[in-house]
Amino acid sequence: MTAYPVLTVPESAFNACYLPYLEAPQRVQIFYGGAGSGKSVFLAARCVLDALTGRNTLIVRKIARTLRNSCFAEVQKSVNRFSLGDFFRVSKTDMNLTCLVNGAQILFLGLDDVEKIKSITPQKGALTDIWVEEATETQREDVKQLEKRLRGLSRHKKRLTLSFNPVSRAHWIYKEYFSAFPEETGKLQTEDLLILRTTYRDNRFLTADDRAGLENEKDSYFHQVYTLGEWGVVGGSVLTNWETGTRPTDLPREELRFGLDFGFARDPAALVMARYDKKRGVIHVLDEFKKVGLTNDVLAKEVLNMAGQMPVICDSGEPKSIAELRRHGVMALPAKKGPDSVLHGLQWLNQQRLIITPQCPQFLMEAQSYRWTPDGQGGSLPRPQGEDHLLDALRYAMEQDMLYSGARVLKRFV
């Protein structure tokens, strides 16, 4: 007989709210809520301890390349935190962990990895657990297909675990699982279904800065979803923190910003001049220009008129137009535009005080009419709609300030 060492992991390694669920048996388990509430760390730790009991876990995200730095890293951290390095073999190339005591595995899969999706199986025994991290990235069909992988003989109860931030009541997960969920208590436990809502308040490991960042979130939608961990109702106006006001008398050069969105036949070219008082977090929208049908030489004149030799941050989708403007003497620079740039940019703008001066009536019109897209069921989708050429130009103009503001970059949430 082999004598296995007895492992003890102290309760203090966990946030108390998760402790009752270390061995929760429900077929479907949902851990959702605000940002930084400890969901991912808990679930990573749980599957490491589960492996020691012989459970095989498949950890899934929508996009394969996001796994390595999130779940795979988090699982390895748990192994180290519990000093279990001697009990696991980590394969960085195949991205998996194997428990050396019993052969159980922790495997990782991106739903976009079609090669791997059919073949991935643990080396010993059946798959007992699937954890879909950031499950709101997935379609219902994805998860239904995955669930079919939970078959085969095992002495362990099979479990599907979903974790996510509650981005929109219109999401399929809400419709599928939340009909009997008591929002007041934030907890549901039946024989087959477990749902637990947590927020940053449940995570005693957060730094004061992390807490302050979440508590000071000014955008009401982001506050609802990421601070309070409540299902988001994306409604009404996208821009929520603006007013009309007069033009300041002083315009220090270092505070001036210029942004340009290209357009030609259907879409107008749109140019914006703003002043950013970083200390007070105030943006004055000072001047605007918006017109269809302009060739780049005519546009260049307008830009030089407004911006002179100051840098103008342009839509990076038209490198040829940027080169042409430069030939005409405009200090045109491409925006960087990350994949999250629109939503992140809007969130950042809502954290500033935006003052629209009388010189910018068209900007005012855009700010008033830019709305979240209705989902057809009384809520809205986190996707803006409406005319946004000058708003885009302002986002480009402020891009550097956003990048260096230290603002928390929220995860992609569509």
Ligand X SMILES: Nc1ncnc2c1ncn2[C@@H]1O[C@H](COP(=O)(O)OP(=O)(O)OP(=O)(O)O)[C@@H](O)[C@H]1O
The pairing of beta strand 28-33 with beta strand 256-261? unpaired
Contact 40, 69 (CB under 8 A): no
Distance (Å, rounded) from C-alpha 59 to C-alpha 47?
Answer: 9
Distance (Å, rounded) from C-alpha 144 to C-alpha 209?
Answer: 39
Reading the block at residue 344, the tokens are 């992140």
Distance (Å, rounded) from C-alpha 275 to C-alpha 324?
Answer: 26
- One residue of 17, 26, 29, 39 binding ligand X per CB under 6 A: 39
Strand partners, 353: 282
Nearer to Mg ion, 22 or 294 (CB): 22
Contact 333, 313 (CB under 8 A): yes
The answer to whether residue 15 forms part of the interface with Mg ion (CB under 5 A) is: no
User: Which segment (32-40, 146-154, 324-332, 348-356) binds ligand X by CB under 6 A?
Assistant: 32-40
Reading the block at residue 223, the tokens are 């506050």
Choose from ligand X, Mg ion, none: what does 35 bind? Cβ within 5-8 Å by kind. ligand X
The answer to whether residue 165 forms part of the interface with ligand X (CB under 6 A) is: yes
Nearer to ligand X, 206 or 349 (CB): 206
The answer to whether residue 26 forms part of the interface with Mg ion (CB under 5 A) is: no
| Termini Cα distance of the chain | 53
- One residue of 15, 40, 128, 203 binding Mg ion per CB under 5 A: 40
Choose from Mg ion, ligand X, none: what does 321 bind? Cβ within 5-8 Å by kind. none
Query: Phi/psi zone of residue 337: left (φ > 0), alpha (ψ -120 to 50 degrees), beta?
Result: left
Distance (Å, rounded) from C-alpha 194 to C-alpha 9?
Answer: 24
The answer to whether residue 168 forms part of the interface with ligand X (CB under 6 A) is: no
The answer to whether residue 38 forms part of the interface with ligand X (CB under 6 A) is: yes
Choose from Mg ion, ligand X, none: what does 15 bind? Cβ within 5-8 Å by kind. ligand X
To Mg ion, the closest distance from the beta carbon of 150 in angstroms equals 22
Q: Looking at residues 263 to 322 of the shown chain, list those that interact with ligand X (rule: CB under 6 A).
A: none
User: Which segment (88-96, 200-208, 362-370, 383-391) binds ligand X by CB under 6 A?
Assistant: 200-208
Nearer to Mg ion, 232 or 268 (CB): 232
The pairing of beta strand 129-133 with beta strand 159-164? parallel
The answer to whether residue 199 forms part of the interface with Mg ion (CB under 5 A) is: no
User: Which segment (30-38, 154-162, 303-311, 346-354) binds ligand X by CB under 6 A?
Assistant: 30-38
**DSSP for residue 123:** S
The contact set with Mg ion (CB under 5 A) reads: 40
